[in-house]
C-alpha cells in the first residue's frame, strides 16, 4: 500500500465516523495544540534568556571581572 493509498483510506475512515466518535480526536488535538503553543513560548523565552546570559558573560569578561 502506498502512502497515497494510506492517506486516502484514513480520509475515508474519518469521513465515515460519526461526529460523536470524532469528538474525542478533536478534543485531543485542541489540547495538544495548546500544549504545543505553551511549549514553543517557553522554548523561545529560554532562548532569549540564554542569549542575555551569554551577552552578560561577554560584557563581564571584557571588563576583566571574571
**Distance (Å, rounded) from C-alpha 55 to C-alpha 44?**
17
Q: Which range of residues forms the domain containing residue 17?
A: 3-62
pTM score? 0.44
Counting the structural domains of the chain, the total is 1
pLDDT tens figures, 29-44: 887 777 777 777 878 8
- Lowest mean per-residue pLDDT among 7-11, 16-20, 22-26, 52-56: 52-56
Q: Is 25 left (phi over 0), alpha (psi -120 to 50) or beta?
A: alpha
Amino acid at each position: 500500500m502506498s502512502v497515497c493509498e494510506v492517506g486516502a483510506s484514513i480520509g475515508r475512515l474519518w469521513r465515515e465516523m460519526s461526529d460523536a466518535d470524532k469528538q474525542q480526536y478533536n478534543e485531543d488535538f485542541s489540547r495538544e495544540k495548546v500544549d504545543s503553543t505553551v511549549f514553543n513560548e517557553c522554548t523561545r523565552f529560554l532562548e532569549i534568556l540564554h542569549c542575555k546570559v551569554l551577552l552578560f558573560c561577554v560584557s563581564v569578561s571584557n571588563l576583566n571581572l571574571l
